[in-house]
Chains A and B, each alone.
Chain A
Amino acid sequence: QVQLQESGPGLVKPSQTLSLTCTVSGGSISSGDYYWSWIRQPPGKGLEWIGYIYYSGSTYYNPSLKSRVTISVDTSKNQFSLKLSSVTAADTAVYYCARGVREGGMDVWGQGTTVTVSS
């Protein structure tokens, strides 16, 4: 049974870079059947897609965040990562990683990690 777990600092200062890692267990991140996503949810608000990556390294980003986002994959560690630069208070959110299936939706989610942007 595949499980995803987010990790990273819970507090980031304004203008700095937010860095999170998602560790995949119970399955290989190198499977071509899946893509690996980041989604966030500001307090009391809805879900916002950040971007996703295939094991090959191909990436797709939300146009509204594209200039600040980098998603990468480390197949040797079975992990994928998110970097969001120049953060502001508006980036405060619960950040989720999720596994996506082609035409199958995002079927496995991490529990989420809260990131607060504050000095």
Chain B
Amino acid sequence: SYELTQPPSVSVSPGQTARITCSGDALPKQYAYWYQQKPGQAPVLVIYKDSERPSGIPERFSGSSSGTTVTLTISGVQAEDEADYYCQSADSSGTVFGGGTKLTVL
């Protein structure tokens, strides 16, 4: 079955740039989406179609794609950005989520 691979954890200091990667064989052909989930809350869409940002999402969130890897970049990380982040994409079987990355703001 299709899989998306994310690093389990990423740590950054406030004000620095965090980069969270997501790898999958179908990513060159399928869009990726990114969700932020804080403890006890439902996920929130922060990036769609690899690099588009929904209204209301701060400009410090951006996405990019290169080959089989997509990257969520958070510039000028703030304490409130500490959360789990999930990538999501699709293949012929349907939708799949990455395993999630815990972003820790030191």
Residues of chain A having any CB pair with chain B under 8 Å: 37, 39, 46-49, 51-52, 60-64, 96, 101, 103-107, 109-112
Q: Chain B binding site: helix, strand, loop or mixed by DSSP? A: strand
Q: What are 22 residue pairs bridging A and B, where the CB atoms are less than 8 Å apart in the complex?
A: A37-B95, A46-B84, A46-B98, A47-B97, A48-B97, A49-B97, A51-B94, A52-B95, A60-B94, A61-B94, A62-B95, A63-B1, A64-B1, A104-B49, A105-B33, A105-B45, A106-B33, A106-B35, A106-B43, A107-B48, A107-B54, A109-B43
Using C-beta atoms within 8 Å of the partner chain, give the interface range for chain B. Answer: 20 to 34
Q: Chain A binding site: helix, strand, loop or mixed by DSSP? A: strand
Q: In chain A, what residue has the closest Cβ to B88?
A: A105
Q: Which of B86, B95, B96 has the most CB of A within 10 A?
A: B95
- Are B100 and A109 in contact, with the CB atoms below 8 A? no
Beyond contacts A49-B88, A60-B95, A107-B48: 18 other A-B pairs, Cβ-Cβ < 8 A, are: A46-B99, A46-B100, A47-B35, A51-B94, A52-B94, A61-B94, A62-B95, A64-B1, A96-B42, A96-B43, A103-B31, A103-B49, A104-B48, A105-B33, A105-B48, A105-B88, A109-B42, A109-B44
Q: Report the minimal beta-carbon distance from B3 to chain A, rounded to whole angstroms.
A: 12
